[in-house]
Amino acid sequence: MAVSSSSTSAGAQAAGENGAGAFRFSDLVRVGARRMALILTTATVVVAVTIAALLLWPSVYSASTLLMLEQRTNSVASSTSVLSSLPTDPVSVQNQIQILTSRDLAARVIADMKLYEDPEFAKPDAITGQMPSADAVIDGFERHLTAEAVGLSTTINVTFKSRDAKKAAAIANAIASAYLADQVNFEDEATRNTTTWLLDRIRSLARQVQGAEMAVQQYRAQNDLNDTSNGDSLIDQQLIAQNAALVAAKSDLAQKQAISSHVNSMIAAGQGADVSQVVSSPLIIQLRAQEAELLRQEAQLSSKYGPRHPKMMDIESQKQNLEDKIAQEAARVGGSASNDVAVARANVGSLAASLKALEKNASADSLKRVKLKALEANAASTRTMYEAFVTRLRETQGAAGLPSARVISTAAVPAQPSSPKRTLIAAASIPAGLLIGLLLALLAERNSPTAEYRPRAIFRPTAAAASAAPAVDPLRGAPVIGEIPDYASLRAADVVIDRPHDSYARSVELLLGRLAPHARGHAGKVIALTAPDQDEGRTALATALARAATQRGLRAIVIDSDFKLPRAAQAMGLAQGDLGLQDVLSGTSPLSQSLARDTRSSALLLSPARLHSPNAQFLNALPQLIAYLKRSFDLVIVDCPAPDYASASRYFLPLSDAAVLLVRWQSTPRAAVAQTIDTLSALRVPATGVVFAR
């Protein structure tokens, strides 16, 4: 039966650290060599199909345009722009990418370039012949468009793919231009909407300002509220002036009262002539001058005349007259001071009455001005708002619509297609085809059925083999009773336990059915397993047959007859024991103490304990041992080395019920096969069958 990938993997799992039964590279090489025609055919077909597909696959060209979002603010429009400049954080860059790949922008580009009629985007339906809808054309257009940020920069790479190189470059540049125009149009539209809103708002505010100012003037007229040129209240100005006049009048009254009191007190004391107002009077000055002249004359005459002299009496009379006049003038000055006090007191009273009236009017005026101030504040705030809106309108009307991005690299017409990568794909199809071919070869090995072989068609004779074996049939007519995968590892028998559905396990099960077809209860059968060479596959097969027999419920034992190189214990995972086959045959140890149990099944093992060449003395007891084991076990499997006259197998083979010759497919020499079968025939082995390992 053929080797498959599943069987090799199972063997690898069963092998463990020793690698027994593993699918090795040599097995892969063997399968590849055997199925080389299938592998090469598959690879050729894959490469041919790939090349044909590449020839039919239309070329696609990619053209890219680079857009950069401006990080600098335009100073011309910085104070007048309705919209602020674009932020340049990663989220904002992704937002602009969404705009670049939006359906609205794609629809504008398609309409501008008349792509609704382009067969690449508007191909008629193959069945109905109907033209696709506008949405379908946009969907097809968007599948050719990609936009992505370049690293951590604010640059966006806009790429468009098309079967026409010039068309790809033209559409990529058109998308960039449409994006910039969309930005300008969006800003202009925002400016227009803002201007319209501002005009409506300004008209409304103008009416409000006019109404508010008219209300102020009407209120002033209705309540006689007048202000000075500097904006102060007229009543307040009068009140301030009246208050100042009253203060001045009171000061004047106090001064005049002080003067009148002083004058009157001096006059009452008889010192009226000494009053400063009297002294400073022109009349008093004249009278004093006359008095001084009389005193001079009196002084002159007093030296000549006596006090009774008429001249002296006349001078005295004149002096008295002058004193009377001075007293009268002093009295007049005192009366004048009293009159001044009365006048000043009357003036103060008048000013106080006027001030009180003004204060009353001012209180009423203040109450009226409370509402006036509210009306004026409303008018002022409305006017301020109106002026601000007018200023903003002037700024907005002067704003320049500039895009917040610019093209830093326009798309050039690509010289080479971006896809498909024909050279790369064609080169990759070669190893891919070989791998697919190898996979098919492994599947073919796994699924190939067990076949009966015609001996003459199996071995192709070579010149060396023909000279060594003159017979035409190297199998000497021996029947082919089975085929197993070629496992040369001692632990390959683990596959029977670990993977019962593996090809190796199925092959062993089929071979066991042919060697021991009867169930338990019949007489035991001795099967000798040998091979022309010393390959480990023979010992592994003997162990696998014993384990398969125990799984059927049979009692099985393996006898290792190789006294020079016993390996059955290793195949079962056992250590070489102290007692073994030599001790049983020589009678130094009972059979029960010399047997070993398989680590993976209930099969038993009887193996040589020491490397020792057998002699005729203890081998004479061999027929009795075989007869006992045949009665005690359902299946006795003897692992025999190559049957030559120097090995112990010549003693075991004649005692077996049948011999199985393991031959490696196209590996074991034809002469060795023929010689082994001739030896078995000479030893008079009852029956011989051939099992191929391949």
pLDDT at position 462 is: 41
**In this structure, what token pair is assigned to residue 460?**
């192709």
At residue 602 the predicted structure's pLDDT band, cuts being 50, 70 and 90, is very high
Q: Which residue in 562, 558, 670 sits closest to 604, CA to CA?
A: 558
| pTM of the predicted model as reported, rounded to 2 decimal places | 0.41
Strand partners, 686: none
Helices (H), 57-149: 90-100, 103-112, 134-143
pLDDT at position 13 is: 35
Q: Which residue in 544, 556, 559, 551 sits closest to 511, CA to CA?
A: 544
| pLDDT tens column, 283-310 | 767 776 776 777 777 777 777 777 777 7
pLDDT at position 468 is: 39
pLDDT at position 467 is: 39
- Tell me the mean pLDDT in the region 192-204: 82
Write down the CATH superfamily of domain 5-14+450-693. P-loop containing nucleotide triphosphate hydrolases (3.40.50.300)
Exposed e or buried b per residue across 459-471, where buried means at least 16 C-beta atoms within 10 angstroms of its C-beta: beeeeebeebbee
| pLDDT tens column, 505-525 | 898 999 898 888 765 656 789
At residue 31 the predicted structure's pLDDT band, cuts being 50, 70 and 90, is confident
Contact 152, 143 (CB under 8 A): no
Domain ranges of the chain: 5-14+450-693, 35-57+420-444, 61-196+402-409, 234-378
Higher pLDDT, 56 or 262: 56
Residue 416, phi then psi, degrees to nearest 5 = -120, 145
Which residues neighbour 214 within 8 Å (Cβ) at sequence distance 6 or greater?
A: none
Whether residue 604 has pLDDT greater than 90 = yes
Whether residue 271 has pLDDT greater than 80 = no
What average pLDDT does the structure give for the chain?
A: 77
Whether residue 10 has pLDDT greater than 50 = no
Q: Do domains 5-14+450-693 and 61-196+402-409 have the same CATH topology?
A: no
- Give the range with max mean pLDDT: 160-169, 236-245, 456-465, 665-674: 160-169
pLDDT at position 471 is: 40
pLDDT at position 645 is: 65
Exposed e or buried b per residue across 502-527, where buried means at least 16 C-beta atoms within 10 angstroms of its C-beta: bbbbbbbbbbbeebbeeeeeeebbbb
Whether residue 78 has pLDDT greater than 70 = no
Domain topology for 61-196+402-409? Bacterial polysaccharide co-polymerase-like (3.30.1890)
pLDDT at position 19 is: 38
Direct distance between the N- and C-terminal alpha carbons of the chain, in angstroms, rounded to an integer: 7
Higher pLDDT, 165 or 400: 165
| pLDDT tens column, 40-67 | 899 899 999 988 888 888 888 888 898 8
- Tell me the mean pLDDT in the region 321-331: 73
- Tell me the mean pLDDT in the region 334-343: 74
pLDDT at position 455 is: 37
Q: Is 215 exposed, middle or buried (0-12, 13-18, 19+ CB in 10 A)?
A: middle
At residue 546 the predicted structure's pLDDT band, cuts being 50, 70 and 90, is very high
| pLDDT tens column, 340-398 | 777 777 877 887 777 777 676 666 666 766 777 787 788 888 888 888 878 877 776 65
- Tell me the mean pLDDT in the region 160-182: 88
| pLDDT tens column, 447-496 | 654 333 333 333 333 434 333 334 446 777 788 888 888 776 777 888 88
